[in-house]
Homo-oligomer: A and B are copies of this chain.
C-alpha cells in the first residue's frame, strides 16, 4: 500500500498545521476570545476541515496543551540524563528549563493558565488536570528522585525531597513570572547562575564536609 502512506503523512501534516495555527491564536487571545473561524483562517483551512481533525474547540485546545507539555517534559527529563551526579543533574535541569521557557514564551503562559485558573469548562479542566497535571507530577517526581538519590549519596541535605522539588520549581517559576511581567525584556536564562547558587547553597552539602 504505497499510496496510503502518503495520504497518512498528509493527514498528519495537516493536523500539525492546524495545531500550530491554533497555538498562535490561543496564545495571543486566550481560549474564550479565540473563535474557530480565526483558527481556520490562520490554518488556511475551511472551518469544516478543522472539525475533521478535532471534534471540538475544547479537544483542539486540550490536545494542543497536552502534546506540547509532553514534549517539553521529555526534553527536560532527557537533560537530567547527561550526568550521573545528582548535583549536576539538578544544574542541568535548571539550565535546560530556563532555555526551553525562553524559547516558548507564549506557550508557557497558556500552560500556566491551565495550572492555576478555573477558566475552562469542567470537562476540559478535568482532562487537562489528569493530563498536564500528571505530566507535571511526573516531572516533580523525577526531581524528587534525584534529591532522594543525592541525600543517599550525602550530597544533599536531608530535607523532604518533595519539598525541595517544589521549592526549586517555585524559584524557577518566580523568575519566569518576572520575565513575563517585564514583557520578555531581560534575558530569562541570565538568571540561571543565581538560581543554581541560591538553591544549592542551602541544599547541597559542601564537598569539604562531604569528604569527612
Contacts and interface: CB of A to CB of B under 8 A. Distances in A.
A166 interface: yes
Nearest to A172: B170
A118 B113 contact: yes
Nearest to A115: B177
B116 A109 contact: yes
Contacts of A174: 166-171, 173-174
Given A181-B133, A198-B159, A198-B167, A118 B173 contact: no
Contacts of A110: 117-118
Task: Please tell me how many copies of the chain the complex holds.
Answer: 4
A170 B177 contact: yes
Contact of A116 (B177, B194, B200): B177
Contact of A29 (B118, B175, B177): B118
A42 to B, nearest CB: 16
A150 to B, nearest CB: 15
B203 A198 contact: yes
Contact of A119 (B32, B159, B197): B32
Interface of A: 27-33, 109-110, 112-122, 133, 159-160, 163-164, 166-175, 177-178, 180-181, 191, 194-195, 197-203
19 contacts: A28-B118, A29-B118, A30-B120, A31-B119, A32-B119, A33-B121, A33-B122, A112-B117, A115-B177, A116-B116, A116-B177, A117-B117, A166-B174, A166-B177, A167-B195, A167-B198, A169-B174, A170-B177, A201-B202
